[in-house]
Structure 1
Amino acid sequence: MSQLPRPRAESTGGATAPAGRRHALLLPGQGAQHVRMAAGLMTAEPVFAEAMDEALTALTELGPLGDRPAGLREDWLRSPDAAVIDHVTRAQPLLFAVDYALGRLVLGWGVRPAALLGHSIGEVAAAVLSGVFTLRDAAALVHDRVTRLADAPPGGMAAVAATPDEVAPFLGDEVAVGAVNAARQTVLAGLDAPLGAVTEALREAGFVVQRVPASTAFHSPALAPATGGAADRIAALPAGEPGIPVMSGYTARFLTPAEAKDPAFWSRQPVAPVLFWPALDALLATEDLVLVEAGPGQGLSQLARRHPAVRSGSSAVISLLPARPGPPEADVAALRAAAEALREHAGAV
């Protein structure tokens, strides 16, 4: 088993973790993606590279994703176009693959997480790391989901600095709460025209609104027609019980064996809202933890730092990758800094 790598003197990022705390992995979803996310680790981290190759092979051997002439791997490593990476046929499978590969890397360091918490597609990566699905079967689930959603009408998501109750008067049948990310960060989802009208009304009312990088109305009823029949496909995939506890971002409680084996639980995820903040709150109510964001960017880390348990210092946050896209060496430096932070409380590993 590989050990925590030696940190470099020029390491940046990361956080000091309190000694004696167990770990939980945070696995991000739609909105975290960016061009060449984590690609700098391909030559520096053999465990990551092997896991990434396995995931990309499992995804692409099932058939093409979308109508891009370039393949999934080629777009990940070569495309400079953010619009390409933001599209459902690239963002979803690549986020799944990067989350999974980073999770494998951390497990290879000897870290044994107390729990996994995935956001959106990150929950599917958590399901693989916990043993609910094999990588190949999870890739089949992701491939089927992406293929269905690729034909959904144009839509999007927008983050609002407000509570769900505050945005409720502005919503109708066509725009829904897609995620509750923090105490005052609610993400709305809907098709382009109605979402645009709602976000404009919110801005006029004085709310701060920011579009999320997404061209699909994830986690809204608008996707219900596209997901019809998905449960039948998932029912053909063997599913086991979580070997590592999974705090579900859809129920804000630990995934039960019955839910893990229920095709409907997985098939409705593109339509159901993500309850990240309630799930994080439930997770940190169990014990003080070191939260390790194993995915591109530091979006979940920034949200987690708002939690009272982190603000008080009883829990801590470590990010494996830089907050913003950068050169390959930035990925490596951020990872080394995270490894150093983990080593500072190695007695908990």
Structure 2
Amino acid sequence: MSGGALPVALLLPGQGSQHARMAAGLHPGVPEFAAAMDEVFTAMGEEGERLRADWLAERPVVPIDHVTRSQPLLFAVDYALGRLVLSWGVRPAAFLGHSIGEMAAAVLAGVFDLRDAAALVLDRVRRLAAAPPGGMLAVAATPTELEPYLSTDVVVGAVNAPRQTVVAGPNGPLEKTERLLREAGFTCRRVPSLSGFHSPMLAPACRGAEERIATVPVRAPHTAVYSAYTTAPLTHEDVTDASFWARHLVAPVLFWPALDALLAGGDHLLVEAGPGQGLSRLARRHPAVRRGGSRVVPLLPARPGPPERDLATLTAAAGLLTPSGPASGSGPSGV
């Protein structure tokens, strides 16, 4: 089923969208969501119990921006919201994930079993935790405009919109690049991250990842997954190539070109299934949305807030995605 007359595409956010207690306002009041979160925590074993405790805590032991919390919890929330939408009877025509969101998209599309994907996420996290500190910087500029300020250390880590580019690298070189960019008049904002995702500094952390990934069974996706790394739907060749998944940590995220490819095939109802509304803000800039053909619906609030705000935003979204809204019984239970 699609939302209204438009086919639905789920947008699954990644690093930088995390915040403390993200989506916790849906637990336990939305049973389908809570059950899907529990699936992930169970699949992650003892670490899953620690993740659950920190996710629900007002004062977590490990801060949310630490890679051992941001990455697995983003994966869990993206996956659980995707499962929630499916429980409403919505059948997405496509998925588009940003960074770790692509792994959640792959599970929802049947490429990986949840248990195998959870193990790969934890393996990724362990590798990242051992890497040197770094960061990411969002700049209001095109990649071409940023070329004079880049180096072997600081590179383009993501292309999120025509004039929203993220650069990434080790802390020292990144701070120098930020200073030069600000002096040149560029508007910059630090992305909440303690690692230089999608940059060469993480190449050592990737050693051995390909061999680990190669042990996991994969299947061709049953629903189109528009990859933010290839900017096209994942093929059987892509998903069976362990090196494709292994290089996610160092390859740039090309969200805007992937979104462009998705919408080139026709208008969609773009549903952001993850914390915040960062991908919704980006998608609203797309010509297909600005002319009124495609529409954007976030499932969660733009900013952290009380539990009732999570529930209110979700309920409003359910009303747009299901035939008669949540009152018909096809929307979120308990809302």
Q: Same fold (TM over 0.5)?
A: yes
**1:337 matched to 2:316:** yes
Aligned to 2:100: 121
Q: 2:286 aligns to what?
A: 307
Matches of 2:217 and 2:36, distance apart in 1 = 21
Question: How far is the alpha carbon of 1:82 from its aligned partner?
Answer: 11
Kindly indicate whether residue 187 of structure 2 is the aligned counterpart of residue 208 of structure 1: yes
- 1:83-137, Cα deviation, whole Å (9 max, x unpaired): 7101110000000000000000001111111100000000000000000000000
- Cα shift at 1:246: 0.2
Read off the aligned partner of 1:312 and give its amino acid letter. R
Q: Deviations over 1:287-326 (max 9, x none)?
A: 1000000000000000000000000000000000000001
1:174 is matched with 153
Distance of aligned partners of 1:118 and 1:334 in 2 relative to their CA distance in 1, 3 Å threshold: same
Check if 1:35 corresponds to 2:20: yes
Residues in 1 aligned to 2:214 and 2:322: alpha-carbon distance in whole angstroms: 42
Partner Cα separation in structure 2 for residue 247 and residue 290 of structure 1: 15
Correspondence for 1:220:
199
CA contact (8 A) 2:10 2:95 kept: yes
Partner residue in 1 for 2:333? none
Structure 1 residue 42, shift from structure 2 partner: 1.0
With over 3 angstroms needed to count, the CA separation of the structure-2 counterparts of 1:81 and 1:331, relative to structure 1, is same
The equivalent of 1:163 in structure 2 is 142
User: In the alignment, is the contact (CA less than 8 A) between 2:43 and 2:118 conserved in 1?
Assistant: yes
User: Contact 2:133/2:171 (CA < 8 Å) preserved in 1?
Assistant: yes
Please report how far the alpha carbon of residue 341 of structure 1 lies from its aligned counterpart in structure 2 after TM superposition.
1.8
SS at match of 1:172: coil
Distance in 2 separating the partners of 1:200 and 1:206: 10
Among candidates 267, 270, 291, match of residue 288 of structure 1: 267
Correspondences of 1:5-154 after superposition (within 5 Å): 19-59=4-44, 61=45, 64=47, 71-80=50-59, 84-154=63-133
Contact 2:51 2:69 in 1 (8 A): yes
Partner of residue 234, structure 1? 213
Q: Contact conserved, 1:179 with 1:188, CA < 8 A, in 2? A: yes
Ranked by relative contact order (alpha carbons within 8 Å, sequence separation 6 or more), the top structure is 1
Asked whether the equivalents of residues 224 and 271 of structure 1 are also in contact (C-alpha less than 8 Å), the reply is: yes
1:33 Cα deviation (Å)? 0.3
Distance (Å, rounded) in 2 between the aligned partners of 1:328 and 1:263: 40
The RMSD of aligned alpha carbons is: 1.9
Report the alpha carbon displacement of residue 343 of structure 1 after superposing the two structures with TM: 3.5
Letter in 2 for 1:25: L
* TM-score, with length taken from structure 2: 0.94
Higher mean alpha-carbon deviation, 292-301 vs 73-82, is at 73-82
CA distance in 1, matches of 2:192, 2:324: 36
Aligned residues: 326
The one-character-per-residue Cα deviations of 1:20-53 (angstroms, maximum 9, x if unpaired) are 1110000000000000000111121111000000
CA contact 2:90–2:321 (8 Å) conserved in 1: no
Runs of 4+ in 1 over 6 A off after TM superposition: none
Read off the aligned partner of 1:257 and give its amino acid letter. H
Which residues of structure 1 form unaligned runs of 5+?
5-16
C-alpha separation between the residues in 2 aligned to 1:95 and 1:302?
Answer: 18
Call closer, same or farther: CA 1:133–1:123 in 2, change over 3 Å: same
Q: Amino acid of the residue matched to residue 67 of structure 2?
A: V
Provide structure 2 residue ranges, at least 5 long, that are not aligned to the other structure.
Answer: 326-335
The one-letter code of the counterpart of 2:128 is L
Distance (whole Å) between structure 2 residues aligned to residue 199 and residue 309 of structure 1: 33
Deviation string 1:147-174 (CA, Å, 9 cap, x unpaired) is: 0110110100010000000011001111
Task: Provide the rounded CA distance (Å) in 1 between the counterparts of 2:223 and 2:186.
Answer: 39
